[in-house]
Amino acid sequence: MHSTLLDELNQNGFVVIEDFLTPSEIDELYLAGRALCLDAPQENRKVFSTVNQKDAHSKETYFLDSGDKIRFFFEEGAFGENGELLVDPMMALNKVGHYLHVQHPIFNKLTFSNRVKEICWQLNFKKPAVCQSMYIYKNPGIGGEVISHQDSWFLHTEPNSVIGFWFALEDCTIQNGCLEVIKGSHKSGIHRLYKRNPDKEANELLIYDRPAPIYPQSSYTPLLVGKGTCIIIHGNVVHKSEQNRSQKSRHAYTFHVIETENNVKYSKDNWLQPTKDKPFPLLFERKN
């Protein structure tokens, strides 16, 4: 019996689709990512880290308000003690997010392409919307670790519906911090939530509702994929990536899709909230 995309996602929590992008698309996306480096701010630069949770983005509105803007987040290791840049500006960014899929023509073209719509159709989405997008640099040497997590910690719907699309724009190896997943972990529910702090007086704008779970390293499968590969990631599958210890970068483009049909509720506690005039853009609406 022919296994469908949905069967595979339900079984493993992820699907690897090789050669999803053509060589010219890879080049176009990669060059667009490089060009974004030149647009990065020269002062008041914000650091992004998943390891150091006392960092800027739990306290700052720059992150919280980035859902409908293109904003720039630097690597922790990019700066000296006095805020001076220690690395080439082309190597300093951790990521750019979270509205590339709308505001940037090259990322918009891929995100709303027929191939992406077809995958969401096969995954039985009724009214899928793209809620956020990111260009991830994973630069040589300073490309930071992304701690073990489930995407639904950050983008929670009831019932869960979040799916990640992750595109490798360079070959992914153990050395340069490939994605690593725990196969089947999406069947174990959601382990914690990252949410807006109900305490309006508190310093932290965003908080976790539970401590971080511990996942044994032996549970992970590294996804050693070539550039052009698309990885579909179930919202509840546990995944991570180690620091880039190589001399090669590991650029990727990623975005997240949620179901917006009436019986699916997007949590008001999520860090990312659509604005009245900018609802999450739909990929399609399935007519009965």
221: number of Cβ within 10 Å: 13
Of the candidates 168, 144, 28, which has an alpha carbon nearest to the alpha carbon of residue 91?
144
Question: pTM surpassing 0.75?
Answer: yes
> What is the predicted pLDDT for the residue at 44?
75
Instruction: Answer yes or no: is 178 within a domain.
Output: yes
Instruction: Answer yes or no: is 234 within a domain.
Output: yes
- Quickly state the pLDDT bin for 148 (edges 50, 70, 90): very high
> What are the structure tokens assigned to 150, written together?
């489930």
Of the candidates 100, 81, 102, 82, which has an alpha carbon nearest to the alpha carbon of residue 39?
100
The residue-averaged pLDDT of 145-154 equals 95
> What are the structure tokens assigned to 241, written together?
């990536």
CB under 8 Å to 90, separation ≥6 — which residues? Answer: 34, 37
Mean pLDDT check: name the lowest of 52-61, 162-171, 273-282. 52-61
Instruction: Report how many domains make up the chain.
Output: 1
The residue-averaged pLDDT of 280-284 equals 98
Residue 140 backbone dihedrals phi, psi, to 5 degrees: -60, 135
For 208, half-sphere exposure in the C-beta direction (CA atoms, 13 angstrom radius) is: 14
CATH number assigned to the domain comprising residue 141: 2.60.120.620
Strand partners, 287: none
Instruction: Answer yes or no: is 277 within a domain.
Output: no
Give me the domain span that covers residue 180.
5-266
Going through 14-108 in order, the beta strands assigned E by DSSP cover 14-17, 46-47, 70-74, 93-98
Instruction: Answer yes or no: is 140 within a domain.
Output: yes
Instruction: Answer yes or no: is 189 within a domain.
Output: yes
What residue type is 147 in one-letter code? I
State the Cα–Cα distance between residues 184 and 147, nearest whole angstrom: 18
CB under 8 Å to 235, separation ≥6 — which residues? Answer: 150, 151, 152, 155, 160, 161, 162, 163, 164, 186
Instruction: Answer yes or no: is 171 within a domain.
Output: yes
| pLDDT at residue 1 tops 70 | no
Residue 111 backbone dihedrals phi, psi, to 5 degrees: -60, -40
CB under 8 Å to 250, separation ≥6 — which residues? Answer: 138, 143, 168, 170, 172, 173, 176, 177, 178, 244
Q: Taking the chain, what is the end-to-end CA distance rounded to the nearest angstrom? A: 27
Mean pLDDT check: name the lowest of 102-106, 197-201, 212-216. 197-201
Q: What is the mean pLDDT of the chain?
A: 92
Q: How do residues 182-208 score in pLDDT, each as one tens digit?
A: 999 999 999 999 999 888 788 888 899
